[in-house]
Amino acid sequence: MSDPAKPREIVVISGKGGTGKTSVTASFAVLAAGRAVLADCDVDAADLHLVLSPRIVTRAEFKSGYGAVIRSEACTGCGTCAELCRFGAVRPSERVSGARQVYAVDPAACEGCGVCVRFCPAGAIAFSERVSGEWMVSETRCGPMVHARLHAAAENSGKLVSVVRNEARRVAEERQLPLIISDGPPGIGCPVISSVTGADGVLAVTEPTVSGEHDLARVMQLTRHFGVPTFVCVNKWDLNPDAAGRIERAAERAGARLVGRIRYDRGVTDAQRQAKAVVETDTPAAADVRSLWKKVETD
């Protein structure tokens, strides 16, 4: 039984990218306006804000982990760091300090483990906290939204997702909103695991292509692995009706609940170009998305 005080959290994911997660999430946000907190968990390529035009109320730095920096003036060039680094992040530097060959850390490759810092015989390596992004709480025409931006080439997208989810839950409880609707990342790795574990339901949006079919199967293995109830929707189903049917049958066999289909409709891209959710336009696919939300909401 669900706790009436605890908001219900629905996460929209897909496995394969570009199947329409964000367009569906934005429409759900409009249909649940005033009752939901929106969360953009696709922190390394967040797009929901392009439709919901948030007005940022608070922003905070996302500090996560550490990075090693070799002070070239103290480096004796012994090479212990390069030898111990398992991530190939230490390389001979182009700068030569005095007559010595010194070393440098590539920040994009450093995973912040601290091994080089600890074992540098000269104590020449600093270990400083890294700011790898920021997160924001905003207001939109549909209600509050929590979103984030991971810096280019940064680590720890999974941790930033956790921050976004925790903050969304806090806002929902504080304002007594019964729903959290999250836009998830593609794939099945770290940020996806971070987005779906402990959620009340996942909606997997797929498309009738060989990749859509292949990737949905893996996403459903993941949600089963973590015990999250899963809904499935085939977007652009009429591009290949046979494949759509095949995908739906397989999803049902794997224990998912089918919640509808969305037709192929160029009006979806037009809505995006006007920074509108699909259901804010009268394009044919809007009716499909409305019926989809009704099933996800009442299940």
Partner 1 sequence: MMVTVASGKGGTGKTTVAANLARICGATLLDCDVEEPNAHLFLKGEPCGEPEIVSVPVPEVDEGRCDGCGECGRFCAYKALVVLGRRVLVFPELCHGCGGCMRVCPKGAIRETRQRIGSVETFRSGNMTLVQGRLDIGVAAAPPLIRAVKNHAPKDGDALVDAPPGTACPVVTALRGTDCAVLVTEPTPFGLHDLGLAVDVVRELGLPFGVVVNRADADDCARAACRAGHIPLLAEIPDDRRIAEAYSRGELAVEAVPEYRRVFETLMTRINGLGAKQTRADTDGHKHE
Figure out which of the listed residues 7, 19, 199, 201 binds partner 1, where binding follows CB under 8 A: 19
Smaller CB separation from partner 1, 22 or 230: 22
Site for partner 1 in 252-281 (CB under 8 A): 269, 272-273, 275
# residues contacting partner 1 (CB under 8 A): 63
Interface with partner 1 includes 44 (CB under 8 A)?
yes
Q: How far is the CB of 219 from partner 1 (least distance, A)?
A: 8
Among 74, 78, 82, 115, binds partner 1 (CB under 8 A): 115
Is residue 40 close enough to count as binding partner 1 by CB under 8 A? no
Looking at beta carbons only, is 219 or 286 nearer to partner 1? 219
Of 3-11, 54-62, 81-89, 164-172, which part binds partner 1 (CB under 8 A)? 81-89
Shortest distance (Å) from residue 171 CB to partner 1: 24
Closest CA to 171 of 143, 212, 132, 140: 143
Cβ atoms within 10 Å, residue 229: 15
201 binding partner 1? (CB under 8 A) = no
Smallest gap from residue 186 Cβ to partner 1 (A) = 4
Comparison of 11 and 171: residue with beta carbon closer to partner 1: 11
> At its nearest, how many Å lie between partner 1 and the CB of residue 66?
6
Q: Is 200 in the site for partner 1 (CB under 8 A)?
A: no
Binding site for partner 1 (CB under 8 A): 14-19, 22, 44-45, 47, 50, 65-66, 84, 86-87, 94, 108-109, 111-115, 118-119, 150, 152-158, 185-194, 207-211, 214-215, 218, 221-222, 225-226, 239-240, 243, 269, 272-273, 275
